[in-house]
Structure formats: C-alpha cells, structure tokens
Amino acid sequence: MYVYDKANELAKALSESEEYKSYKAAKGKVEKDSRAKDMVNDFKKKQFELQAMQLSGQKPDESKLNQIQSLYQVIVLNPDIAGYLQAELRFNQMFSDIYNIIGKAVELDMDFLQPENK
C-alpha cells in the first residue's frame, strides 16, 4: 500500500538524519561505560516515575523534584552523558515535529498539546 511505502521512506530518512546519527553515536559512547549507562538509566527511571505521577494527576513532592534535578546536575558533568542527553533531545524534538506535521495533515485532535490560555 502506498501509505506504508511512504512510512518506510520516512523511517529510512529518519535513520539517515544527522539527528539520529548523532544520537546513535552518543548513545554508543554511554553504553561503552557501564557506570555512565547505569547513571543514565537511573535518571531516566526516576524521570519516568515522575512523569507517570504527573499523568495520573498526582503532584510529586518537592524532595522528589529536587532529587531528580540534583541527579541531572551530577550526571551532565560527564561529557558523554551530556552529549547523549542533548542528542536525544534533538532527535526527540524532530520526531515530535514530524508527529505534529502528520497530525495536522489528517486533522488529529491534538489541542491537548497546546499550552493553555488562561
């Protein structure tokens, strides 16, 4: 089907993008260092738990927020981790932009992604 062909073309373009190549290279550096990999995994786990709390309507306590912020400040002192997190952010931003482009083209209801006007 034509749509799937285009999806495969998009997947290929994504895998050939500079954002993805930078992300993969940075991830490879972190994965070679077991200590750095463990630190990133610990940070991401805590970040995920915080986001899950927020999505379920719970307000995380101040100590949990401070813990994650402190952990972030420590792990980004490692240049490989800092580079990895920056590359991941750039790739995720590109991915999000593409999702929004597709969503607008097929008129998906994505108003929930827009900031609230109060």
Over the stretch 9-53, which tens digit does the pLDDT of each residue have? Answer: 999 999 999 999 999 999 999 999 999 999 999 999 999 999 999
Check residue 80 and give its pLDDT. 98
How much is the pTM?
0.82
3-state DSSP of the chain: CHHHHHHHHHHHHHHHCHHHHHHHHHHHHHHHCHHHHHHHHHHHHHHHHHHHHHHCCCCCCHHHHHHHHHHHHHHCCCHHHHHHHHHHHHHHHHHHHHHHHHHHHCCCCCHHHCCCCC
Q: What is the separation of C-alpha 48 from the centre of its chain, rounded to a whole number of angstroms? A: 11
Q: Domains plus CATH for the chain? A: 18-105 (1.20.1500)
Q: Report the distance separating Cα 60 and Cα 36, nearest Å.
A: 26
Q: Report the distance separating Cα 56 and Cα 45, nearest Å.
A: 17
Q: Around Cβ 78, how many Cβ atoms within 10 Å?
A: 18
Average pLDDT, stretch 51-64?
A: 90
Check residue 33 and give its pLDDT. 98
Check residue 60 and give its pLDDT. 86
pLDDT band at 108 (very low <50, low <70, confident <90, very high): confident
